[in-house]
């Protein structure tokens, strides 16, 4: 195994696993598709990164963080659902991006390029993924209660605005990292499909979250192994592998029920 493949694997496993785990929480909140518009919101930063030759995830971060704060503030001011506000804002990001994005270099932005990741970038990716995982674990109970009943959460003394902001920021970090892994077009699938696969096979909340983590890890491994054999785009293969696991889970669900 080459160093490059090893770096791609550890980065893919870190981002994919945490994306799957976070996706389980997002699916509970009916927000799994929010990652897609946020990925599109990263387009301007990705375009600038490609045009000026710096890290794609680094370029994505400020635009996604800005989008998250706008969504959070608008949700407080308007009481419009988060997913609706996200869809409203992302169109601006897509439009602005085409002012900067060299079309001949669009592939890396659209479907990712994890196979070219370096040591420093891999270290940052793994570290940030672990930070997100720890934060999600710490806010897990509060977010579940908020999902069940905001009124009950208020009675328990939970600051809903604060926890929603923390939650949205964790989503922003994973989406920014996911852009390098699968590109801006496929980030929603990175969080949604492992969680959907896990739901098919889970009879308890604990098993659901653990299987989401497991399938989030398994898809990048499978995708990168196939990439090694075929040399087809790694990001696309990761999502196809994840979709294949989902189809298998549908078959197994019928067998187990």
Q: Domains, the chain, ranges and CATH? A: 3-189 (1.10.3470.10)
Per-residue pLDDT reduced to its tens digit, 25-77: 877 665 545 555 566 666 677 767 766 766 666 777 777 777 777 777 777 77
Between CA 21 and CA 239, with CA 23 as vertex, the angle to 5 degrees is 100
Q: Is the pTM of this model over 0.75?
A: yes
Q: What is the torsional sign of CA 16, 19, 25, 29? A: negative
Query: In terms of C-beta distances under 8 Å and separation of at least 24 residues, what long-range contacts does 76-79 make, across chains too?
Result: 76/161
3 state DSSP class of 257: coil
Please give the average per-residue pLDDT across 143-147, as a whole number.
81
Per-residue pLDDT reduced to its tens digit, 151-172: 888 888 888 888 888 888 888 8
State CA 129 to chain mean position distance. Answer: 10
- A 10 A CB-CB count for 26 gives 25
């Amino acid at each position: 195994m080459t160093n490059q493949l090893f770096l791609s694997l550890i980065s893919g496993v870190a981002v994919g696993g945490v994306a799957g785990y976070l996706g389980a929480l997002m699916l509970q909140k009916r927000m799994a598709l929010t990652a897609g518009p946020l990925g599109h919101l990263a387009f301007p930063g990705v375009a600038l990164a490609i045009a000026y030759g710096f890290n794609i995830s680094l370029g994505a971060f400020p635009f996604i963080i800005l989008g998250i704060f706008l969504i959070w503030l608008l949700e407080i001011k308007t009481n419009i659902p988060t997913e609706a506000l996200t869809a409203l804002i992302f169109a601006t990001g897509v439009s602005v991006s085409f002012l900067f994005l060299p079309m001949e270099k669009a592939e890396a932005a659209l479907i990712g390029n994890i196979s070219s990741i370096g040591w420093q970038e891999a270290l940052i990716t793994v570290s940030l993924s672990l930070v997100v995982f720890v934060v999600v674990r710490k806010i897990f109970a509060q977010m579940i209660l908020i999902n069940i009943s905001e009124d009950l959460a208020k009675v328990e003394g939970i600051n809903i605005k604060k926890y929603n902001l923390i939650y949205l920021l964790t989503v922003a970090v994973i989406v920014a990292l996911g852009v390098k892994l699968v590109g801006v077009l496929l980030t929603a699938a990175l969080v949604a499909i492992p969680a959907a696969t896990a739901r098919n096979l889970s009879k308890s909340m604990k098993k659901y979250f653990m299987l989401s983590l497991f399938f989030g890890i398994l898809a990048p491994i499978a995708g990168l192994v196939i990439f090694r054999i075929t040399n087809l785009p790694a990001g696309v293969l990761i999502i196809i592998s994840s979709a294949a696991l989902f189809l298998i889970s549908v078959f197994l669900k019928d067998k187990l029920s």
